[in-house]
Amino acid sequence: MFLKKFKAFGFSKLRLEAFSDAVFAIVMTLLVLELKVPHIINASDKHEVIENLKEVLPVFYSWAVSFFFVGVIWLHHQNILSMTVKSDFAIAWINIFLLFFICLLPFPTALMGEYPSQPLFVMFWGLTVSATTICLMWFYYYN
pLDDT by residue for the chain (143 residues), tens only, comes to 455 554 566 678 889 999 999 999 999 999 998 888 888 888 888 888 888 888 889 999 999 999 999 999 999 999 999 998 878 888 999 999 999 999 999 999 999 999 999 999 999 999 999 999 999 999 999 97
Map 8-73 to HEC letters: CCCCCHHHHHHHHHHHHHHHHHHHHCCCCCCCCCCCCCHHHHHHHHHHCHHHHHHHHHHHHHHHHH
CB 46 within 8 A of CB 7: no
Residue 9 is predicted with a pLDDT of: 64
Residue 38 is predicted with a pLDDT of: 82
Task: Report the predicted TM-score, pTM, of the whole model to 2 decimal places.
Answer: 0.84
